[in-house]
Structure 1
Amino acid sequence: MIPVVVVDDEPMVCAHLRTILGSAEDIDVVAQAQDGAEAVEAVVRHRPRVVLMDLRMPGVDGLTATERIMRLPGPPAVVALTTFDADTYVMRALRAGAAGFLVKSTPPEDLINLVRVAADGHTVLSPEAARRLVAASGGERAEQARELVAGLTERERQVLGCLGQGRSNADIARLLHLSEATVKSYVSRMLVKLDCTNRTQAGLLAHEAGLA
């Protein structure tokens, strides 16, 4: 089973998410929280593998809660929930260590699959969410992204494009006919070259540069 904590200040949103995730045989919503402080307590108490975290909440917000959770030993994957009324919150969540982000209107089947992806330690970067965030970021960010990736080799650009599609190292290895160790090495080098702190940031950069 994949234990999940759902965090949102709207009880109806929590109930909706619980209903969707509860329909999956391999997912167990072990707790829900309505602010960031409760979220941290729930993570400490229940040790989930995935946290679905609303970003904008009264009191302790989702950004602060994400930062606190990521400082815990063996933290879970935190996936930011957003309505995209403020894309800067998403970027700050990624810098705080979030494993990815998705829109609250994500279809039920996609939501279930994305929770499974996050639980397996992979990037959660739904195409719809990435497109909307890139569109909101404007042309200046796209130009900066293209300048950053210009220094990559062709193979590194291919791997980066795969990250933008949310692929795991195993998927990339099969697609590009490489070993997983080689893919891991490529990803590590690219994160340094691109000044990205995690795979999700690199995947978003791939979208901004038009590689995904």
Structure 2
Amino acid sequence: MTRVGPAGTKTVLIEDHTLFAESLEIAMTMEGYDVRRLPIPEAAASAPALLATVARIRPRIVLLDLDLGALGDGVPLINPLARMGANVVVVTASMDRARWGECVRYGARKAMSKTQPLNEILATVRRINRGLSVMDAAEREELLRLWAEHRQELQEHRQRLDALTTREREVLGHLMAGRAVRDIARISVVSEATVRTQVKSILAKLEVSSQLAAVGMAFHAQWQPPSTPRVS
């Protein structure tokens, strides 16, 4: 039977921003929801324990942040939560709609910005509790398209990064650490001209026009450089 009101509906908040979480908890409790705000673990390895706690509570609705401090990215929690039968609503400071699309892809009913009025978040919770839709087909398709395009772009960037030689990867790692060409040359015991040639090759392979763009691509793709010596 479709629910028509909170009536003690179990709701879990997974949110590391204390003030925002407290405001949401108070507002939902006043409306009659049975709200549990879970403490955020201090390590990513604690995610299974967090999920186990949610499973014991068996909430109908979970409000989930994406940037969870030491726990890391909240996206990997979405699918396990949805598989438990929870309706996951992502409430995030991120305005990256491709990231919102990733949330929807993995089972979130909706992704919302923390900048939206509290009443809009509460309205979404009410609709879910009543068994109503909270996202139309057009919005869903747009978010999934943005996520798919973003994923394709990341794959292309990683392929370019994988094409770098071992030495070029080392140089890019130095650039990511903020080191200048002269410092890289000193650490590597080679001439600055040699390093500049290597940088030029990196830019060509990554299809970018500046060191800043190359570094930005590497960070965006979450690429990990090989270990490089520290500047003494």
Tell me the TM-score normalized by structure 2.
Answer: 0.48
Higher percent of residues as strand: 1
2:39 pairs with 1:28: no
Choose the corresponding residue for 1:47, options 58, 61, 65. Answer: 58
* Counterpart position of 2:197: none
2-structure distance, mates of 1:123, 1:12 = 29
* Counterpart position of 1:180: none
2-structure distance, mates of 1:42, 1:119 = 21
* Counterpart position of 2:173: none
1-structure distance, mates of 2:103, 2:60 = 18
Over residues 48-100 of structure 1, what are the superposed CA-to-partner deviations in whole Å (9 max), with x where a residue is unaligned?
1000011122325211111222233xx11000112233222211110001111
Q: Which amino acid aligns with 2:28?
A: L
Choose the corresponding residue for 1:11, options 18, 26, 29. Answer: 18
2:96 pairs with 1:106: no
Report the CA distance shift for 1:4/1:114 in structure 2 as closer, same or farther (over 3 A).
Answer: same
1-structure distance, mates of 2:52, 2:72 = 12
Choose the corresponding residue for 2:67, options 56, 70, 74. Answer: 56
Match of 1:84, SS? coil
CA contact (8 A) 1:102 1:125 kept: no
> Any unmatched runs of 5+ in structure 2?
1-7, 151-232
* Counterpart position of 2:129: 119
Report the CA distance shift for 1:62/1:123 in structure 2 as closer, same or farther (over 3 A).
Answer: farther
CA contact (8 A) 2:9 2:59 kept: yes
Q: CA offset at residue 23 of structure 1?
A: 1.9
Q: Map of 1:143-162 to 2, 5 A cutoff?
A: none
* Counterpart position of 1:68: 80
Report the CA distance shift for 1:39/1:90 in structure 2 as closer, same or farther (over 3 A).
Answer: farther
Q: Which amino acid aligns with 2:37?
A: A
- Aligned residues, how many? 129
1-structure distance, mates of 2:13, 2:67 = 14
Q: CA offset at residue 114 of structure 1?
A: 1.3
CA contact (8 A) 1:82 1:104 kept: yes
CA contact (8 A) 1:54 1:62 kept: yes
Q: CA offset at residue 29 of structure 1?
A: 0.6
Q: Which amino acid aligns with 1:51?
A: V
Tell me the TM-score normalized by structure 1.
Answer: 0.52
Q: Which amino acid aligns with 2:131?
A: G
2-structure distance, mates of 1:125, 1:32 = 26
* Counterpart position of 1:86: 96
2-structure distance, mates of 1:114, 1:39 = 24
2-structure distance, mates of 1:80, 1:59 = 16
Match of 1:80, SS? strand
2-structure distance, mates of 1:68, 1:33 = 18
